[in-house]
Amino acid sequence: MGDNKKITIHNLFWYFLIFSIIGLIIETIYCHVTTGVLESRKGLLWGPFCPVYGISGAALIYILDKLKIKSFFKLFIGGFIIGSIAEYILSFCLEAVYGIRFWNYEYLSYNLNGRISLLFSFYWGVLAIVLIKFVQPIIDKLVEKIKPRIRNKIEIGIIIFLVIDSLVTVWGIQTYQNRVVYNKVFETDSNNIFLQLRENIENNYFTNERIYRNFPNLRIKNENGEEVWISTLLNEDKTN
């Protein structure tokens, strides 16, 4: 944005949306290159979104813009610090909502409680430079070209979809967790159509295969306080 232009709520929304998609693509490629495994890195059940990148990217741009940081070095330092803080906080928030961990960096050197690591903090610093210097100006120009009335309708539609997507994701993961970890399956003999609908969705839509395919790296703490992959528990059940 130009020096005289302020970042609006509309800009922040599009930063969040686009960075959620770009972040998912980058992480998918990175994991494939480093591990040789091509798997889902999504944060929501529907759509190509990884909200951690969306929230962190939007926060990076907003805070760095407020601080009037322009030089490459300061952008790197700002991204390193702000990105790390955002990732650490989001790790706690996601665990509070879902009751499970989506990532754990304990396999890397110089990590903090497995929630952030020096390597990925370095990536946040590099990402801050790329976002501020190259990506943000492109997004701002695209947003300015959309007529306000049309833009508002698009934003409302996407927000409604993302809210529903988030609720469905929480529901699906909790169902998966209850089934695999706690051996709890919702069943009803009631004639209540809503309870029957819930049972049908949980048993036929939120299948272990579907949730695992979308979120293969979900972790939970066992009775000893150790983190284990839910997929490991699922495979143990299959072999028993």
Q: What is the mean pLDDT of residues 144-157?
A: 95
Its pTM stands at 0.85
Per-residue confidence band for 236, with pLDDT thresholds at 50, 70 and 90: low
Q: For residue range 77-96, what is the model confidence (pLDDT) as tens digits?
A: 999 999 999 999 999 898 88
Report pLDDT digits (tens) over 152-189. 999 999 999 999 999 999 999 999 989 988 888 888 88
Q: What pLDDT score does 2 carry? A: 47
Cα distance between residue 205 and residue 200, in whole Å: 7
Q: What is the reported pLDDT for 222?
A: 65
Mean pLDDT of 43-64: 93
Q: What is the Cα–Cα distance from 175 to 186, expressed in whole angstroms?
A: 9
SS3 117: strand
Give me the phi and psi of 182, to 5 degrees please: -110, 0
Q: Three-class SS of residue 116?
A: strand
